[in-house]
Amino acid sequence: MMRQRILRSRLGSLSLRTQLVVLSSLLIALAIAVTALVAISAMRSHLTSQLDEEIQSNAGVITSNLLPSGSEINSTPRLAYTAFLLDSEGNVVHQFSTADESESTPLTGTWPRDRVEKLSATGFTVPSVSGHTQWRIMPFSTDSDQYSVIIATPLTQTNSTVALVGMLTIAFGMATLFAAIAMGWGLVSRAALN
């Protein structure tokens, strides 16, 4: 109650011009913040969805190259990935990686065969073992009851793109806010003179 009185008295003691500019600036800042959050969220969702599609489209090649009895396919996906061949209890039998070693490795958790079958071809975001990067993992069941596969790809590029979009959105939003403040101040000042 006391804080509201202080806020009212401070805002009320300002000139009408200042009050209009402050209130319109706050509304514009709120709109910029909401727009930035929506843009960042939509961009992250879209890029993650594209990454999931890329993992799924390369899963056959990666799985064939990873299975011990599989016929090797000389096709190499453009995707930077780490693939884990798991036994039926979820233990890693074999691991292969084309991802940069600075990305660490994904913290995959335990994936027994029944869990893989239930969540096959579903993407999950997980941290890395080192904790400084994120990975997108996707489990796949194989034709063999003995094995399943987890394919993981680092989210470094996705996170960089989202950060850049967020920074640009905020930068252009702030420029718009300052231009609106200057224009509002000028228009209100001109109207007060007339």
Q: Which residues are paired to 82 by β-bridges?
A: 97, 152
Give the single-character DSSP code of 124: E
Mean pLDDT of the chain: 87
- Token output for 168: 């640009």
- The H-or-E segment that residue 3 falls in is helix 2-12
Q: Which residues of the chain have pLDDT under 50?
A: none
Residues 6+ apart with CB under 8 A from 97: 81, 82, 83, 105
Give, for 173, the enclosing helix (H) or strand (E). helix 156-193
Distance of CA 157 to the CA centre of its chain: 10
Q: What is the pLDDT of residue 3?
A: 59
Residue 123's pLDDT is what?
A: 96
105-137 tens-digit pLDDT: 899 999 999 999 999 999 999 999 988 889 999
What is the pLDDT, as a whole number, of residue 93? 93
Residue 50 CA to residue 44 CA, distance in Å, equals: 10
Q: DSSP alpha helices (H): ranges in 13-155?
A: 16-66, 113-118
Q: What is the pLDDT of residue 99?
A: 86
**Residue 29 in tokens:** 């800042």
| pTM greater than 0.95 | no
